[in-house]
Chains A and B, each alone.
Chain A
Amino acid sequence: MVESVYPRLEPLLPQVTKPVQYVGGELNSVVKDWESADVRWALMYPDAYEVGLPNQGLQILYEVLNGRDGVLAERTYSVWPDLEKLMRSHGIPQFTVDSHRPVAAFDVMGVSFATELGYTNLLTALDLAGIPLAAADRADSHPLVLAGGHAAFNPEPIAEFLDGAVLGDGEQAVLTITDLVREWKAAGRPGGRDGLLLRLAADGGVYVPRFYDVTYLADGRIGSVRPNRPGVPGSVAKHTLMDLDDWAYPRQPLVPVAETIHERYSVEIFRGCTRGCRFCQAGMITRPVRERSKATIAGMVETGLQASGFSEVGLLSLSSSDHSEIHEIARELADRHEDTQTGLSLPSTRVDSFNVTLADELTRGGRRSGLTFAPEGGSDRIRKVINKMVTEEDLIRTVTTAYASGWRQVKLYFMCGLPTETDEDVLAIAPLARRVIKAGREATGRRDIRATVSIGGFVPKPHTPFQWAAQCDAATVDARLHALGAALRSEPGYGRAIGFRYHQGEPSIIEGLLSRGDRRVAAIIRAAWADGARFDGWSEYFSFERWARASQTALAAEPVDLDWYTTRERDYEEVLPWDHLDAGLDRDWLWQDWQDSVAADGTAEVDDCRWTPCYECGVCPAMGTEIQTGPMGPPGSRQLPLVAVGSGAGRAARELA
């Protein structure tokens, strides 16, 4: 019998901030009888409820698992330090919000990592749950701790704490894992914990770090990563869901009572992206492109709104206006929901002048407050380096159209510290922003035109062409951001029209450490956590000094240090910590793309294989598939991403402005 901790938790709740986040009971949440299931999952998002609840990945898996007989899934989120302290003093374990059961009572604890900055929160949850931090110390009775999400494509820094990692799409993978766990339990747990993990590694497509030995060279680089027993693949491939129309989730979206960062019904209109932006890990690891059909999307929106009462619909993907039928989708949804006070938004949408029309369609009759464009780099030269093929003229044309059709504010997103970047590339943002304002004033004849420049440090990520790149040091990033701020303020007549938001360089360095680290980084994470690291994605909790201190202590006996992991360029020969994990991308293609990006005689452009012939990234042959798009041709070539302002207001609190 697994009892609810709620009677013990309830008296503590009046003492903590926003207690409603811990009580569950959301519309469409599911509470199953404990005894009705033989496989039980605790699904965790390792951040605060307000960030974790809207997460699509977790909601989809929750619904997929609970949709099966004999399977039960509940959710758990990171508790804020005020409650953590009270839980420790009252002996209350990490609990699920659905029925407040202790996480340690479940068979599997599945943790979704959208970002590496959630690693310390994993340790807090394990510790509060009473689950040993190191996977090697766990008994058969402890839950399997599995990681998923984009950060799981290099789980090596947290390998010590994980029983396994699942790369790629989770919908089918969790069901395969469920079947293997069920069979193992029914058979009397043959081989104990290792016996189960061996089955998962052999038949479940699960990466089990302990079945691989890592050796190091004298200089600190990795010598080799090899399986240490038979029956384990030398390379672990990602999971790819091929027909998204067969998996039209979420159908019963969770409706939080507490306020969260996204209050809307979200439908993923396609998965994958082939734009080829060299910095973008999501675009690389989620290939190939798989679209949902117009009919499925319309049906999901209809039932999702009915089931939730939400008044906003988000059409999600990495580049939403790239859907081959986006204009029909937008028009039909706008028609269908006209006069119902339903808002439609396209976060992460590339927009050229043509696609501002799309944004206009989505905001029919409503207020046009702001559009967000992401040129990412300040100069034409640096945008070529990152393969963001947008010229300054494209951008000016696009914002002119946007201002002319009633949008009053644009946000411009940039990165600082890109490969080959100079001070001039960053300072070029200032005259660009002024041209944007000027274009808006000319197009509208008004003075109340606003633009906001938002910029943060670039972090090289695994499985991208920039995985070999040296990360720019924090001092250089900060100096460039400081100079840019001064340049933006210097021009009379523009100063007040241009807002400036930036993220300092130091947090990016730690994100870089956790992104491209190897198994030795686990000791740093453990030391930082023991020293109090929590909620590292939140500026009010993050401490660079703490991480620097932890790096020094943990790496004292190693030939490597924090700089070695971050600001050091890697060469072709070096074994990267994630080379045995297969995102489907051809390593030589990535290397050639990296070389092309920094070529002295000018950067080579990579086209989008949606509209032009294949550029051999390797994904389609590896997956035995090809890109799946609808009936239409390209909507125009050079486009910019766009996000409607207003989504994710809660995120603002996290920005290190």
Chain B
Amino acid sequence: MTRLSVTGRPVLESVQHLQVRYAKRGRMRFASHRDIARAVERGVRKAALPIAYSAGFTPHPKISYAGAAATGMASEAEYLELAFTSPCEPEDVRARLDAALPDGIDVIEVAERGHEPPLAHLEASQWQLTLPGVPPAAAQEAIGEFLAASQVEVERLTKKGIRRMDARAAVISMELDRRAIAAQPDGYGILRMVVRHTTPAVRPDDILVALNRVTGLTLSAPPLVTRLAQGPLDETAATVTPGPGSPEAAAGRERET
């Protein structure tokens, strides 16, 4: 049966759901979630993809987003889902959408979703944080102190008011990223950590506040924060399995164990 919108026009049903992994790189780390959403909507139109629209007076393209990395944070593993009115080849969608987006909002992989719920299993993220002004040894010491704490409460002002959360509990693992340190000239510490997705979310900047609270760790400049991977959490191995069919090139695979 054909569904009709309030304006009397037929509404085309969604026949395919594609999960898209994209990166926020370079200058585009300063794009907010809303900026990205507008860019993606336009990119989908520019690429002439058969996106489905909601019914109603002001139809919206059917694009859903998983929790986005905050403004200023880079990411190699953001996720969204597209609903199409006719089936498309995922790799073709990847290439066309990537070409229609500004450099720095880069489509890494597109895969068809099976029967699981949309954007499921994004249980935890792996983050990398630069620590300007903090030598690796001092960073190592701070990590040890932080991990030894049983609980580190921090608060953040959200739209719902001041929220308190236990930053320590959300951190599954935390370590120095020695390979990344070796690759950069300034010689400051670079942190890797796996953080569980919670409500309210414990964000990398909350963890920096927590580190400061426990260990007095202070940065000399704003850190560069990058989400490397996002996916199901393996608690025993303290790893995040990168999302659907992540390519070998994904930074998340390079993590040291």
Contacts and interface: CB of A to CB of B under 8 A. Distances in A.
Contact of B43 (A19, A22, A307, A309): A309
B30 A23 contact: yes
A343 to B, nearest CB: 10
Interface in B1-60: 7-9, 26-28, 30-32, 34-35, 38-39, 41-47, 53, 57-59
Interface in A243-292: 255, 257-259, 263
Interface string A500-522: 00000000000000000000000
Nearest to B35: A257
Interface in B176-224: 221-222
* Interface size range of chain B in the complex: 35 or more
Given A25-B104, A255-B42, A309-B45, A11 B222 contact: yes
Given A308-B46, A367-B57, A25 B38 contact: no
Contacts of B45: 305, 309-311
A259 B42 CA distance: 13
B9 A257 contact: no
B188 to A, nearest CB: 13
A258 B28 CA distance: 10
A583 to B, nearest CB: 39
B106 to A, nearest CB: 12
Nearest to A310: B42
B102 interface: yes
Nearest to A311: B45
B30 A19 contact: yes
B35 A20 contact: yes
Interface residues of A, number: 31
B103 interface: yes
B71 interface: yes
Contacts of A19: 30, 71-72
Interface string A337-369: 001010000000000000000000000011100
B222 A257 contact: no
A25 B103 contact: yes
A14 interface: yes
Interface in A1-42: 6, 11, 13-15, 18-20, 22-27
Contact of B58 (A18, A310, A367): A367
A22 B30 CA distance: 9
Contacts of A6: 27
A330 to B, nearest CB: 18
Contacts of A27: 42, 46, 100-102
A321 B192 CA distance: 60
Interface of B: 7-9, 26-28, 30-32, 34-35, 38-39, 41-47, 53, 57-59, 61, 71-72, 100-105, 221-222
30 contacts: A6-B27, A13-B30, A13-B72, A15-B222, A19-B71, A23-B27, A23-B28, A25-B28, A25-B104, A26-B102, A27-B42, A27-B46, A255-B39, A257-B31, A257-B38, A257-B105, A258-B31, A259-B35, A259-B38, A308-B46, A309-B42, A309-B47, A309-B100, A310-B45, A311-B42, A341-B61, A366-B7, A366-B58, A367-B57, A367-B58
Which 10 A-B pairs rank lowest in CB-CB distance, beginning with the nearest?
Answer: A309-B46, A309-B42, A23-B27, A309-B45, A14-B222, A19-B30, A367-B57, A365-B7, A20-B30, A14-B72
